[in-house]
Structures are given as structure tokens and as C-alpha cells.
Structure 1
Amino acid sequence: MTETYDAIVLGAGAAGLFCAATAGQRGKRVLLLDHADQPGKKILISGGGRCNFTNMHTAPDRYLSSNAHFAKSALSRYTPADFLELVEAYGIAWHEKTLGQLFCDGSAKQIVAMLLEECAKGGVAVHCGDALGEIAHGDGLFRAAFGGRAASAPALVIATGGPSIPKMGATGAAYDLARQFGLKVVQPRPALVPLTLAGDEALFRDLSGVSTEVIARCGKAAFREAALFTHRGLSGPAILQISSYWQRGQTVTTQFLPDRAEGWLREAKRERPRTSLRKVLGEGLPERLVDVLCARLGLSGELGALSDKALAAAEATLARWPFVPDGSEGFAKAEVTAGGIDTGGLSSKTMEARKVPGLYVIGEAADVTGWLGGYNFQWAWASARAAGLAI
């Protein structure tokens, strides 16, 4: 016997839970399915277990997509303040870290519990722990098989995310479904991911654990945050941010000592000619990093013994130190997936597929990828809300 619903939502992550709750509270009969043994597993590990649930500086230009304008509508209609109002209604204490990032004071479990309670208020049927079987479509209905059961509904929501963090059960199922229904897929790739170094640059891997503030650049993108050297290459917020813009073969430049004005080394030479280059660099950089940079620059000794030309060249190199990553740590370490189901085939107002009435794509499954720091959660809430109100 086939169970009947108004909507079937695939994926009980941030977007799926919020979409199901939104539609359910509008009186729709909703079935929420996930192959994982519990809902919200990625939410639980996010933000170090405290869930960076939104960012107060959310704006469309902080998202990557083949259609730069696609996210504008949903983001404008459901804002960080809107989600924060819900969080506060549940008495969840929160705090703002740097750059507008909002976290729970307690645990990410509070966000999952809130979303499940919102689903309960809407009478959503939540079913986890069974692999999804065949998805079929005909006569205006979508049919889904799961755990020896079957369900049908005039609306189907793809909220299964991307393949990042496969150990949490992530797969590329969204893309298979998209192709099944004739939707295009923008090549998925790891985003917000550590970059790897090889060859001559492998020397920097000896600095594993060393961190310093930099401005990381790739193309027109630039981020000022911490960079962290790892046993495989580069990580830290600045590098994770720039990784979303990086393509294989491109150079990533890092500006060490970003607060130093042009000519600072030559000025230091005039003021303290007997001070060593190593000591001057060490006033703003970790000791182990200074050793490597000095060796690479080929400069040592007192500033007074170095020519202005050599110091000017050192300044220029430190301001745009080039790294050519040989790759990334892949989907296993990527926080999100860039690319995904092509937004060209979706309505920016409702997230519905233009050529397949009743089919919706939300969250990370779509080709919309936010910056690090709560932006991807805000896209999940906003796109879920848009679809939940349209079903």
C-alpha cells in the first residue's frame, strides 16, 4: 500500500528539516526521509559542535554560483534576523564570534532539537535509517520507495546536500536525481577545503601547526584571516575561504604581516640598522615561519648590511608570497560542495524546477555555495523557507 502525502522531502539536514517544518506548519502532509540513522548529523558536528547557525553579514555577493543573482530572492525574504528570532523563541543562548558569525553558547544539539520540534508542530512524518529506493514520477505524482514501504506526493524536495564529508553519510545522490529528471549539474568540487603542497613548497609542511594572520588571494578574491600550515599543506580560515575560488594550476598568494605599510623594512633599516632581519620579522610572525621565510628569501644578518633594493624585493615577496597548490584534501575534508544542480533550471523565488512541476531543489544540493562562517546555513534556511512556502 502506498502512503500519500502532499510533499516528500529527501534529506533530513538543515535545509530538509526546515523545509519540512515550514510546509507542515502550513497544513501540508509531509514525509521527511533520510538514509542516516538520525537527522541533522552534519549540524551536530558544525562549528566545533556549537553550530555556526548564521552570519549577520549575509549578502548575495558572499555566495558562489554560476548564476550570481540566483540567491538574492530567497536570501532577501528570509534573513539572519528571522532565523535568530526563531532561535531566541526556543531560549537558545548564542554569541557572536568574529565577522558576524553566530554560534550556540551550548550545543548544536539545541538547533537539531529545535528543528525537530518545528517539524513535530507541523505533523511531519520523519523516517531515518533506511536506504532510499527507486524514485519515480508519473501522472503528476512522485513515488519513493524506502525500507519496504512506498509513498507518493505531488511535490518532491531534493535536500540531500553534496558529497562533502562522506563519513557522515554524504553522497552525490542529489545529482543522480537531478539527471533523472533532466536537470543539468554544474561540476561538483570540494569547497572550504584545505589545500595541499608538493615539490619545492613541501618545505612549508614542516611548519605543521604554525598559524599566522594573512591576506590570501586568488584571482579577484581576497580574505584576511588566519592561515594554518599543516602536514599536507595549507589550511585555516583564510585558506578555506580562498579554496572555493581556487582552480587547479592557479596560484594562491598570501600577504604576510598585512598591516605593514610599503617601505617598512627599509624604514626599520634606517631606525635600527644593527637589528637582524630575522628579529624584525619575528616581531610579527611565528619563529618557525620566520626561519623558513628567511631561508627562502636568501637574506640574513643585520638590516644595515642589506641593500635597499634587497629589502624592497623582500617586502614585495612577503606581500604576495606565491603558493601553487597541487590539489586539495578533497570531499573528505571539504566543509561544503561547490557546484551542484544548475540553478538555471530552477525558480529563484520557489526553488521549483521549471520543467518538472512539483520538483524542488534546496540547500547545498543547488549550485549555491557560501563563504565560511554561517553563510551556508543561512542559504539552507532561506532556500528551505522559499520551497516550504511554495509547496
Structure 2
Amino acid sequence: METFDVVIIGAGASGLFCAAQAGYRGRKVLVLDHANKAGKKILMSGGGRCNFTNLDAAPKHFLSANPHFCISALKRYTPNDFVELVDRHGLEYVEKAPGQYFCQHSAKDLLNILLTECEWSGSEIRLDTSVKTINKRDQGFSLITNKGEIECESLVVATGGLSIPTLGASGFGYQIAEQFGLKVLPRRASLVPITIQPAMKEKLSTLSGVSVDIEASANGVSFKEPMLFTHRGISGPAILQISNFWQPGDELQLNLLPDLNPEEHFKTLRNDKPKRALETELNQLLPKRFVEVVKQDLPWITKPMAELSNDNLAELIQYHTHFDVQPNGTEGYRTAEVTLGGIDTNEVSSKTFECNSVKGLYFIGEVLDVTGWLGGYNFQFAWSSGFAAGQFV
């Protein structure tokens, strides 16, 4: 039987980062993962370039039943701290949007930094290793794996959530929590594309691949970002963001003219350019393929502006500011970037990430009920929670 000071289950972002921190403290660390490669989710995120942090990471950008839980970790290990780390390794990165940092070339460059940190700290990583059972001992834990038995003093669960099962995601972390009597809150797919009713999907099928800047609103929350039409429904940053707040049955408002005062704009246009066809103007504001769909519903947009009544303009404005895509659900965990919900943070110390009721058991990263907005926030919580736990395991 092998013995380690710390065993971490999960070779993802939080697990690898925690391993390095603990290793640098002189702890004998072993990282286990059932996958054949470490950091699979890192490699595919951000289109393969990984949006690894956001300089604006703050508690307001996270969803949790306890919105205060993430404050301590985010303060103790900040986005600037992580940027300083990758700078020391010479990572080349770009700022795609204010505060959003992506690898310039490939997410492999970032994963190599994490693996290098683990190597330098003396932490060991074992892949293709699945944990069968976990038992609490007087001075730690005993783990039965497919490759033998391991004992440790501290056990860190960094297994992530349910999103993208093709990369090996599972509910194993929640099972561990339930084994030790911890409360697990309801979970659902998060940062996920929205599907639409079959008839509307057929109608919009010509728009697959078309992007339009919108403002998406649901349950009092709004995001002004691009939306992408897909062959299954709608996606893009605006939709992924609003999916955290919208659920089937809720109203979903899509404003396709978010930067206009449309009533003033079209009335002014009617006065100033009465002979201009409304369709011509819409082609200046929106993708032409989308305007073709509008023409199916509002065939009179081919008329000159002077011939349009106030009722016509009111109908036009309602159509574009409350565009009804007839949503009926989401694509689920298959394409979700993260999992909303998870282990109740009241079960865990916000300082150490140790379970309050089971000494030596820690939970970090996505397995907890802490979900960030799109834009690098979830990775930052992985670094911050991994760092925090790494100081105490």
C-alpha cells in the first residue's frame, strides 16, 4: 500500500493548481484521474485557446446559494497573481475583450505550465486511474483504485461537474459528498446553447452560422453580446450568459437592435428618406440572411419608408426588440461549459475549502455550488480555490 500526504482526485484546472501549491509546501502529493490525459477541459475551452482568467473577477460575476463564499479565495489569489505566474513561464496571451485573457496560440501552452508547476513541486500525476471506494480512517483516508490501494492524510475532490461527459465528466464528486453526508444542491447545465421549437427551428434553418449583436434578457438580468444561430437553436456569448438565468417556461427577450432607439430611428428615417425601402435600411442594421426571414413575416418591408404607417413601425419595432425564437430548452450537459449548482458551500470552509464535518476532506473548483459567468471567471475560481486549499492540505 502506498501512502501520500495529499491525494487529489481530478487532474483538471483546480486539481493541478492545488497539487503544485501543496507540493511547494513540501507535501507528498498524488493526483489521480480516470482519463488518459490531464486537463482535457482546459484544452478544449475557448475554442482551444482557453480564456484562463478575467481581470474583473469579482463576487458579482458568480452564482451561488451563498454569494459571499467566493470572496475570500478571490481576494487571496487574484487574476493578477495568475497572470504573474504565466508571465514567469513566458506564456503568450491576448486580451480579446477587456480583462479576458486567452492563450495566443494554444491551450496546450497553459496546460504545460500547470504540468511543469506540478513537476517542479514534486507532485505526481497518475492517469487512467479510477477510484472505486473511499473510506475514512482515524488519520486520513484509504482509497481503493483500479491499480491498488492508497492512503493519504488529506483528500481533495477536484472532479468538476457534469458538463461535457465526452471528456470524462461524471457526478463522482457529488457521490463522494453524499457518501460523507454533505448536502448537494440541484444541478443543471450552465453556459449552454438554447434549443428552439421544431417549427421555428425549420424556419430559421437558413440562418445557421449567422451572428448578430443582441441584448438578451431573462428574470431581470441582461447581457449585450453576440448571438449565433445554429442548426439546433441559438448560441453565442449572449445566449450562454443568459442560460444561467433562464429556464424553460421563463420569458426570454431578445432585442436585435440593442444600440438603437428604434422608434426615433425609423420615424426620423421616414421623414428624411421617404423613398428609401425599409428593407434597404434593415440590411444596413442586420445580416442580410436574417432580413430575408423578416421579409417572410413582414412582407411590407419592401415598401418605401413614406408608405409605412405608425402601426407598421410599431409592429417592426416589437418584432425586433422582442424577437420570439420560441425557446424550449437547452442542449444540456453535452455542450454546457459548466454545471450550475453542486455541493452546498455551507458545508465547506471559505478559507481552507475543508469540509466542516469531515477533517481532511476538501472540495475545490466546479464541483462546488459556485458558477461564474462566461469570460474566464470559472477558471479564475479554479485557480483561487486550488490555491486556497493548497495552503492547508
Same fold (TM over 0.5): yes
Q: Would you identify which runs of 4 or more consecutive aligned residues in structure 1 move more than 4 Å?
A: none
Counterpart in the other structure of 1:96 = 95
Mapping of residues 1-391 of structure 1, within 5 Å? 2-202=1-201, 203-261=203-261, 262-297=263-298, 299-300=300-301, 301-391=303-393
Give the residue type in structure 2 aligned to 1:50: R
Give the residue type in structure 2 aligned to 1:258: P
Shift of the alpha carbon at 1:156? 0.9
Q: TM-score, normalised by structure 2?
A: 0.96
Matched residue SS, 1:5: strand
Matched residue SS, 2:187: strand
Which digits, 9 at most, give the CA deviation of each residue in 1:146-181, with x for residues without a partner? 233111122111100011111111111111111111
Which digits, 9 at most, give the CA deviation of each residue in 1:216-263, with x for residues without a partner? 111122111110111111011111111111111112211112111242
Shift of the alpha carbon at 1:204? 2.3
Which digits, 9 at most, give the CA deviation of each residue in 1:84-132, with x for residues without a partner? 0000000111111113210112221111111111111221121111222
Shift of the alpha carbon at 1:35? 0.4
Between 21-30 and 252-261, the greater mean CA deviation after superposition:
252-261
Matched residue SS, 2:144: strand
Cα 1:264–1:376, aligned 2, differ >3 Å: closer, same or farther? same
Give the residue type in structure 2 aligned to 1:314: L
User: Is 2:362–2:389's contact at 8 Å kept on the other side of the alignment?
Assistant: yes
Matched residue SS, 1:67: coil
Which digits, 9 at most, give the CA deviation of each residue in 1:314-363, with x for residues without a partner? 22432232344111111111111111111121111111111111111111
Q: TM-score, normalised by structure 1?
A: 0.96
Shift of the alpha carbon at 1:310? 2.6
User: Is 1:251–1:322's contact at 8 Å kept on the other side of the alignment?
Assistant: no
Output the aligned Cα RMSD. Answer: 1.4
Give the residue type in structure 1 aligned to 2:278: L
Shift of the alpha carbon at 1:200? 4.6
User: Is 1:251–1:323's contact at 8 Å kept on the other side of the alignment?
Assistant: no
Matched residue SS, 2:151: strand
Equivalent-residue separation in structure 1 for 2:167 and 2:199 (angstroms): 35
Equivalent-residue separation in structure 1 for 2:40 and 2:137 (angstroms): 32
Equivalent-residue separation in structure 2 for 1:298 and 1:76 (angstroms): 56
User: Is 2:32–2:130's contact at 8 Å kept on the other side of the alignment?
Assistant: no
Matched residue SS, 1:321: coil
Between 70-79 and 292-301, the greater mean CA deviation after superposition:
292-301
User: Is 1:55–1:101's contact at 8 Å kept on the other side of the alignment?
Assistant: yes
Shift of the alpha carbon at 1:187? 1.3
Give the residue type in structure 1 aligned to 2:185: V
Give the residue type in structure 1 aligned to 2:154: A
Cα 1:81–1:290, aligned 2, differ >3 Å: closer, same or farther? same
Give the residue type in structure 1 aligned to 2:247: Q
User: Is 2:206–2:289's contact at 8 Å kept on the other side of the alignment?
Assistant: no
* Number of equivalenced pairs: 390
Gaps of 5+ in 1: none
Which digits, 9 at most, give the CA deviation of each residue in 1:192-218, with x for residues without a partner? 111000055322233111111111111
Matched residue SS, 1:69: coil
Which digits, 9 at most, give the CA deviation of each residue in 1:27-64, with x for residues without a partner? 11111100011211111112222221111111111111
User: Is 2:194–2:330's contact at 8 Å kept on the other side of the alignment?
Assistant: yes
Matched residue SS, 1:112: helix
Equivalent-residue separation in structure 2 for 1:356 and 1:245 (angstroms): 33
Matched residue SS, 2:285: coil
Matched residue SS, 2:390: helix
Matched residue SS, 2:47: helix
